[in-house]
Amino acid sequence: MRIAVVDDEKVFRQAIVDQITSLYGRENVSCFLFSDGNELVRSFDNGFQLDAIFLDIEMKELDGMSTAKLVRKYSKDIPIIFTTSHTEMALEGYEVDAFRFLAKPVDGRKLRQTLVDLEKKLKVEEKIVLRKDGEELIFPVADLIYAEAANNTVRFVFSKKAVEQRMRFSEAMSLIDDLTDGFLKIHRSYYIHLAHVVKMGSAEVVMDNDETLPIARGMAAEAKKKLLEYVRRNGR
């Protein structure tokens, strides 16, 4: 992940960075430090890309709320985690779609949970890129209901449309697995997204697009076990 930490006090800025890198290791996360909101906004002007922002509210030059409003002009979706000594300002954070508020000094346990939730959010918003008629089509992985093998093609079924690709089924599964861990093979021809399962029996599964798919003989028990594990882990 690429994370910006914005705080006009060096001690707080460095404390958050140290906590993040101790949890993830420097090889898995890159932290970029900014001493005020103007610096962060200028980085967006220059095309700088980030996955999330830890943003102090009480800064002298450009305060956190004002900074967040400017950031939203560049990105509607980037998660903003406010750090503040005044948690009563949380309601104002709804105006800029704040992801989380953390009281200063930041508690390590709460920071860890915030990072776990942040990873889940970023994972859900991963995109899958497919090609059709010479054009690239981009879909959220969250919208992919299942992939179906048919001869030398794979049919990717999304919430609103289906796209066929000429590729091996094993390649399709690898493509999906690189983006998310929420899929399960239930049949030699079906790779389903557990988030879209409505009901699972011993021989078939009902997806939330009202399609019923077969479960291969002997795979039902393992499929049910994986579904329960997924529900416990993800809360649905």
Query: CA nearest 205: which of 188, 217, 192?
Result: 192
| pLDDT attached to residue 151 | 86
What architecture (CATH level 2) is domain 2-124? 3-Layer(aba) Sandwich (3.40)
Residue scoring higher pLDDT (123 or 227): 227
Indicate the length of the chain as a whole number: 236
The answer to whether the 2-124 and 129-234 domains have the same CATH topology is no
pTM of the entire predicted model: 0.56
Question: With 80 as the cut, is the pLDDT of residue 134 above it?
Answer: no
| pLDDT attached to residue 112 | 86
What architecture (CATH level 2) is domain 129-234? Beta Barrel (2.40)
The helix or strand, by DSSP H or E, that contains position 45, with its residue range, turns out to be helix 37-45
Give the Cα separation of 229 and 196 in Å (integer).
15
State the residue for tokens 């906590």: 19
Partner residues linked to 199 by β-bridges: 206
Which tens digits make up the pLDDT trace of 149-205?
988 899 999 998 999 999 999 999 999 998 888 899 999 999 999 999 999 999 999
The helix or strand, by DSSP H or E, that contains position 39, with its residue range, turns out to be helix 37-45
Residues 196/178, Cβ–Cβ less than 8 Å: no
The domain limits of the chain are 2-124, 129-234
Residues 197-214, mean pLDDT to the nearest whole number: 95
Give the Cα separation of 158 and 141 in Å (integer).
9
Q: Tokens for 219?
A: 């795979």
Question: With 80 as the cut, is the pLDDT of residue 124 above it?
Answer: no
Count of C-beta atoms within a 10 Å radius of residue 156 = 23
Give the Cα separation of 141 and 193 in Å (integer).
9
**Residue 177: CA atoms inside 13 Å, Cβ hemisphere, count?**
9
Query: CA nearest 231: which of 184, 166, 177?
Result: 184
> Which strand ranges, in their side-by-side order, compose the sheet holding 204-207?
197-200, 204-207, 212-214
| pLDDT attached to residue 96 | 83
Which tens digits make up the pLDDT trace of 46-93?
888 899 999 999 888 898 999 999 999 998 889 999 998 766 655 566
Which tens digits make up the pLDDT trace of 21-53?
887 777 678 999 999 999 999 999 888 889 999
What is residue 47's three-state secondary structure? coil
